[in-house]
Structure 1
Amino acid sequence: MVTDRYGNPLHECTPETAGHLDRAVEALLHFSPEVEGAVGDALDSGPASPLAQAFGAYLGVLGTEPGDAAAARRRFDGYVAGTDLPALPPRERLHVEAAGAWLAGDLRGASGLLEELSAAYPTDALALAVGHQLDFFTGDAVRLRDRIGGALSAWDTEDPHRGLVLGMYAFGLEESGHYRQAEEAGLAAVEQDPRDVWAIHAVVHTYEMQGRVSEGIGYLDARRAHWTRDNYLDVHNWWHYALYALEAGDTDTALAIYDASLHHEGSAGLAMELLDAAALLWRIRLAGARPTARWEALADAWAARADPPFYAFNDVHAVMSYVGAERFGAAERLIADRRRWLAAGSADVVTNRRMTADIGLPACEALLAHGRGDHTRVVELLWPLRRRLHEFGGSHAQRDALQRTLVDSALGAGRHDLARVLISERTGLRPDSSYNWSARARLADALGDTARAATARDHARTSAAAAAEALRGRPGAGTEAGTDTEPGTGVNPSGGRG
């Protein structure tokens, strides 16, 4: 019987197809673009393989691209129509059912099926990796942690892929607030496999969440050769680097990274990259800068996609871009379209309906209100959601753009009581964050407490200076990126495509 590299049997599979599937899993775990070719080879050589068909379906939805999902669904439906699904072996039947559920929009159903699969077959790396991403897309931090934690003990310590599983566990630990354990697991995973960009990303998240900016910069710099090229996560990790630069008060470096790696003329216009670009520019906007030409280009990129309702998290970042470019009409049209979609829908299994209704639309409306200076409305919309934002996916770091919007509007609306609560919460978690201390200074100014405002600004300068010291001497530092109305001319910090 043909098996995969982990010893799991493969139905309707030749040794050639098994080799392609092993190669595809290896590429997926490393976020390598080679996964597409490997899955294509598996489908070509073994079209009757249920695992190859499920893998192809997973690729169609992992990027949150509606067009890719539609194409994958057409191919997958053709396979299912000619297959006796109940006769499939249990492991592969569950893969096919999970893939079908995700293609039908039932992310939580797919997640549950893969969790059932992993309980019985804990060394199925594909099920763990895809389930892990589903937990991320649905914002389920506990399952993001426990899905991997529950399988980890079944992995032989000598298996070279155990480190990659440990890297996933590190991210789940981080998102559920176990920062020390997350850092330890992530560092150990990278030690085992320096190309584990997801584990690098998990460590970076732990530093971000604790405000350990200098360490985050140093960690990314030390491993730059492994995360800046030949993987799907390079843009996102550059985004993290840019967040560190903003904490250092270095908007020029953040914008140089934006121009080189997040969004430029050569960008593919993929949703995952565009939302990072929007999230960075929005933070810069909240800090008072207006990189207008960048906003215009980014809004054009979102408009060119003309996405149907697919993933509320993407919708929020599209509206962010329209508001940043002051295209309020475009933001209103997207919001109206999603409202019509919800009104026309039935009680189906599409997870995005609940995400859109509960979180996506109020967040979009809050961003539009912020753009128009209606801070009272922003507070009305976001204050009730501030502890529920995870329900529409993403990470704590990504969703912080909305949390900062609420802080800014609480101050702008004169809701000093709410601003004090929000800033106190943030400072308690990240006592060395220059942003948090700057926000505290703004609040003290509004209350007329000049002494406390001066002290807070001193803290902000001290925190920013420590981060700025870590940035000095890095390749690309000090590049003229521009913070006014025109895009900069910064070089790519990675020396190539970001």
Structure 2
Amino acid sequence: MSTDQHGLAMTGASAAATRHYDRAIDELLHFRSEVDAETDAALADSPGFPMANVLAAYLGLLTTEAAEARTARDRFDAFRRQADESSLLPRERAHVAAVRTLLAGDLPACGALLAEITTAHPRDALALAAGHQLDFFTGDARALRDRVGGALTAWHEDDPHFGHLLGMYAFGLEEAGHYDRSEEVGLRAVELNRRDVWGIHAVVHTYEMQGRFGEGVRYLDARLDDWSTGTFFNVHTWWHYALYALEAGDVERALAVHDAVLAGGRTSMELLDAAALLWRLLLEGSDQHERWQALADAWPPLVAEPFYAFNDMHAVMSYVGAGRIGEAEKLIASREAYTLESRPGVANVAMTLRVGLPVCRALVAYGRGDFGTAVDLLYPIRHRVNEFGGSHAQRDAVQKTLLEAALRGGRHEVARVLVSERVSVRPCSPFNWLKHAALADRLGDHATAATARQKATTLITTA
């Protein structure tokens, strides 16, 4: 029996496999691609090593890509056929049960099983990291905050991964709306480990939600070497950088980021970031036809079968942006058929029914210029869009689509509510004041429109 770097007992691992496993956990927490190689090395040395097999399964299943999930299923099934599960330690058996639940598509149940592991073993970094990602995929802000928060007192500042826990906790605090505390914890995480990209990401989200785009750019610029290299998470952080540029009205800079970093992506995570950026430009009337075409070409193999509704939305964005409405409708039809099949316990079915399909239909309606239908589809679900995952910042693309559809479709009462909500929550956002101005112009209140535009200009010039 061996012990991992956090003091937890493990079976079936040689000394070398244990070292590879510990390094794999470190790479995982740093969002570095070397996590796969270290996991494979642990399994090559000790094929029956339960925790390495569990880690490999989580890595495949949490990519949100069907092909990776199939590979993970095959590998894990092979492990289980050879394993004597009765001989495993209770924590190992609990992880095996969690993986089996995740393989069945029940994300909330898997998250609950991982929470039980964390309750009994609060220093289980893998249970915390996997659970944190599941909370993100299901849009559960409370769990994003409390899963890690409930384990923190079992850790100490001299633990090498204590800072990474703070980074995760900071993100949970931000998604739960505790912005002051999120900034404090996130900055401390990065102070403990300057290359904690998830901690940097939490701070960036906090500035985004507070409309502090100038500070966000300066923060990222000052730490460019820490987050832009040596991690597969750099693309997403560049996306945040581009969002700051858009808030400042610098479309040229946002497109430069797209062309240098976001274009040419091949994974779902990369493609959805590109789509989310280009869609925001589309809402403002910016035609990026060639960029949309390349993006639309990349999506078909990744959405050939249903797996994660949040990805489907971004594929539909890409098809609509490229003017390929027929492909968007074909994807929607396939998801409609998918929801009619009996799939007990598969979380993505409910995600697709309750949020994914209404959003995708609304995007198509918007692309056709049917703004009234887009409003009718999005307004009733606007407070539960979190159910298909993502962050507040990512889901804001849906809220901005609703607002723009209301403005363009003459639904002025709805637009007034939406603008008032946005300005009241984030008065530091130039975008919000510009939409306030656009609504005022449509209502013939040009004095209010001029004042709102001046407010937006002042915010940009003083950021």
TM-score, normalization by structure 2 = 0.99
2:308 equivalent to 1:350: no
Shift of 1:304: 4.3
Task: Indicate conservation of the 8 Å contact 1:170/1:183, yes or no.
Answer: yes
Task: Indicate conservation of the 8 Å contact 1:248/1:466, yes or no.
Answer: no
2:378 equivalent to 1:382: yes
Shift of 1:306: 4.4
Q: 1:289 aligns with which of 286, 289, 293?
A: 286
Task: Indicate conservation of the 8 Å contact 2:65/2:302, yes or no.
Answer: no
In structure 2, what is the equivalent of residue 196 of structure 1? Answer: 196
- How do 1:164-203 residues align onto structure 2 when only pairs under 5 Å count? 164-203=164-203
Task: Indicate conservation of the 8 Å contact 1:57/1:72, yes or no.
Answer: yes
Query: What do residues 142-163 of structure 1 show as CA deviations (whole Å, max 9, x unaligned)?
Result: 0000000000000022112101
Task: Indicate conservation of the 8 Å contact 1:145/1:176, yes or no.
Answer: yes
Task: Indicate conservation of the 8 Å contact 1:20/1:38, yes or no.
Answer: yes
2:412 equivalent to 1:416: yes
Instruction: State how far apart, in whole Å, the 2-side matches of 1:404 and 1:248 are.
Output: 16
Higher mean C-alpha deviation, range 56-65 or range 115-124: 56-65
Shift of 1:63: 1.4
- Give secondary structure in 2 for the equivalent of 1:153: helix
In structure 1, what is the equivalent of residue 89 of structure 2? Answer: 89
In structure 2, what is the equivalent of residue 62 of structure 1? Answer: 62
2:308 equivalent to 1:311: yes
One-letter amino acid of the counterpart of residue 270, structure 2: E
Matched-pair identity in %: 57
- Give secondary structure in 2 for the equivalent of 1:198: helix
Query: What do residues 250-305 of structure 1 show as CA deviations (whole Å, max 9, x unaligned)?
Result: 100000000010113xx3x1000000000000001111111110001100111243
Shift of 1:27: 0.2
Q: 1:404 aligns with which of 396, 400, 415?
A: 400
Instruction: State how far apart, in whole Å, the 2-side matches of 1:303 and 1:116 are.
Output: 38
- Give secondary structure in 2 for the equivalent of 1:448: coil
Report the aligned-residue RMSD: 1.0
One-letter amino acid of the counterpart of residue 14, structure 2: T
Instruction: State how far apart, in whole Å, the 2-side matches of 1:87 and 1:407 are.
Output: 57
Structure number with higher relative contact order (C-alpha < 8 Å, ≥ 6 residues apart): 1
Query: What do residues 122-181 of structure 1 show as CA deviations (whole Å, max 9, x unaligned)?
Result: 001111011100000010000000000000000022112101101100000000000000
Unmatched tracts of structure 2, length 5 or more: none
One-letter amino acid of the counterpart of residue 359, structure 2: A
Task: Indicate conservation of the 8 Å contact 1:139/1:394, yes or no.
Answer: yes
Task: Indicate conservation of the 8 Å contact 1:362/1:382, yes or no.
Answer: yes
Query: What do residues 200-254 of structure 1 show as CA deviations (whole Å, max 9, x unaligned)?
Result: 0000000000000111001000100000011121000000000000011110000
Instruction: State how far apart, in whole Å, the 2-side matches of 1:100 and 1:81 are.
Output: 13
Instruction: State how far apart, in whole Å, the 2-side matches of 1:304 and 1:160 are.
Output: 39
In structure 2, what is the equivalent of residue 483 of structure 1? Answer: none
One-letter amino acid of the counterpart of residue 279, structure 1: A
2:439 equivalent to 1:443: yes
- How do 1:357-368 residues align onto structure 2 when only pairs under 5 Å count? 357-368=353-364
Higher mean C-alpha deviation, range 75-84 or range 272-281: 75-84
2:297 equivalent to 1:321: no
Query: What do residues 403-450 of structure 1 show as CA deviations (whole Å, max 9, x unaligned)?
Result: 000000111121111111111111111101111011001100111001
- Give secondary structure in 2 for the equivalent of 1:59: helix
Q: How many residues get paired?
A: 463
Unmatched tracts of structure 1, length 5 or more: 468-498
In structure 2, what is the equivalent of residue 457 of structure 1? Answer: 453
Instruction: State how far apart, in whole Å, the 2-side matches of 1:122 and 1:305 are.
Output: 35
2:14 equivalent to 1:11: no
Task: Indicate conservation of the 8 Å contact 2:303/2:315, yes or no.
Answer: no
TM-score, normalization by structure 1 = 0.92
- How do 1:328-339 residues align onto structure 2 when only pairs under 5 Å count? 328-339=325-336
One-letter amino acid of the counterpart of residue 255, structure 1: L
Instruction: State how far apart, in whole Å, the 1-side matches of 2:293 and 2:128 are.
Output: 39
Task: Indicate conservation of the 8 Å contact 1:51/1:92, yes or no.
Answer: yes
Instruction: State how far apart, in whole Å, the 1-side matches of 2:236 and 2:459 are.
Output: 24
In structure 1, what is the equivalent of residue 274 of structure 2? Answer: 277
- Give secondary structure in 1 for the equivalent of 2:2: coil
Higher mean C-alpha deviation, range 352-361 or range 456-465: 456-465
